[in-house]
Amino acid sequence: MNIRIFQNTFGLIGLAGALISGSANAAMTVLDDPVPAEPSSFWVDWTSATAGAAGTVTGTLGALTVTYAGEVRSAQTDGGTNYWNPATPYLNSSVPGAPPASDIITLIGGNSTTNIITFSAPMLNPVMAIVSLGQSGQPVSYLFDQPFTILSQGTGYWGGGSTSLSQSGTTLIGREGHGVIQFTGTFTTLSWTAPNAENWHGFTVGGLMAPVPEPETWTMLGLGLAGLGLMARRRKV
C-alpha cells in the first residue's frame, strides 16, 4: 500500500510538473517573440532630457519606463536629424529595423563616469544601436559591465564600414562604428564607461519585456499541490 501511495503521489508530481512546464512554455512562445511587427514598438521613445556631466534622459518602451543617467552631451527627443539613416548597419535578424525616429543620446567620453540605463521591468536580450563610435584614426571604447555580441554593422550616417566595430571581452571598440550590439539574458540595468574622448558618438536602446508566466501556470501549480495534500490525507486515514 505504501508503494501504491508513493506511486500515485509521484504521478501527481509529474503531472503537475508537466502541466506547469507546458503552460510556461506556451507563455514563452507567446511573449518571447524575437521580433515585434513594428520598429516603433521595439526602440525606446526618449521623451525628456537634461544635458550635462551628470545628465538624465527618460523615455518609454511600451509599458516600460526607461531612464538613462550619465554623461549627456545632447539628446534628441522630439525631431531633429535622423542619424539612423541609412538603416543598413542596424538591420539583422534580432531587430525589426533601424530606430524609426531621430531619438538619440550623444556622448563625448574621456571621463570615468558610469553611464547607466535602467528598465522599470526586466528586459529580454536588450540591444543598443550606436552611431559614429570613434574615428578611423581615433578609436573610442565602451567598457560594459556585461558580455555582448555585435549583431550588425556597416556604413552609417558618418561613414565607417563593415569592420568599424570590434570587441575585446566586454569592451566595444569603434573606428567610426555604426551598428547594433546585444546583451544576452534578462536585465533591469546596463552600465558602461567611455574613457576615450571624441566629439561625438551616440546611442539608443531597444528590446522586449522578459516573458512572464501566464496565470494558468500558477493555477496548475495550485492543482498539483492540492492533489498532493489529498494523497497525504488519504494516507493518514
Measure Cα distances from 106 to 25, 51, 73, 74, 233 in Å: 40, 10, 5, 5, 65
pLDDT for 30? 32
Residue whose C-alpha cell is 575585446: 168
Please name every residue paired with 46 in a beta bridge, in sequence order, or none if there are none: 59
Q: Residue 74 is inside which H or E element, if any?
A: strand 74-76
In angstroms, rounded to a whole number, what is the distance separating the alpha carbons of residues 109 and 193?
8
* Joined grid coordinates for residue 58: 527618460
pLDDT for 21? 46
Measure Cα distances from 51 to 57, 72, 127, 215 in Å: 8, 5, 23, 43
The pTM of this model reads: 0.77
Q: Are strands 149-153 and 104-107 parallel, antiparallel or unpaired?
A: unpaired
pLDDT for 20? 42
**Tally of CB atoms within 10 A around 171:** 15
Residue whose C-alpha cell is 528586459: 123
pLDDT for 209? 72
In angstroms, rounded to a whole number, what is the distance separating the alpha carbons of residues 161 and 25?
40
Q: What is the largest CA-CA distance in the chain?
A: 82
Please name every residue paired with 172 in a beta bridge, in sequence order, or none if there are none: 142, 167
Q: Are strands 140-144 and 186-193 parallel, antiparallel or unpaired?
A: antiparallel
Q: What is the pLDDT along the chain (237 residues), one digit of tens a residue?
A: 444 444 444 444 444 444 444 444 433 333 344 444 467 789 999 999 999 999 999 999 999 999 999 999 999 999 999 999 999 999 999 999 999 889 999 999 999 999 999 999 999 999 999 999 999 999 999 999 999 999 999 999 999 999 999 999 999 999 999 999 999 999 999 999 999 999 999 999 999 877 655 555 445 555 555 555 555 555 545
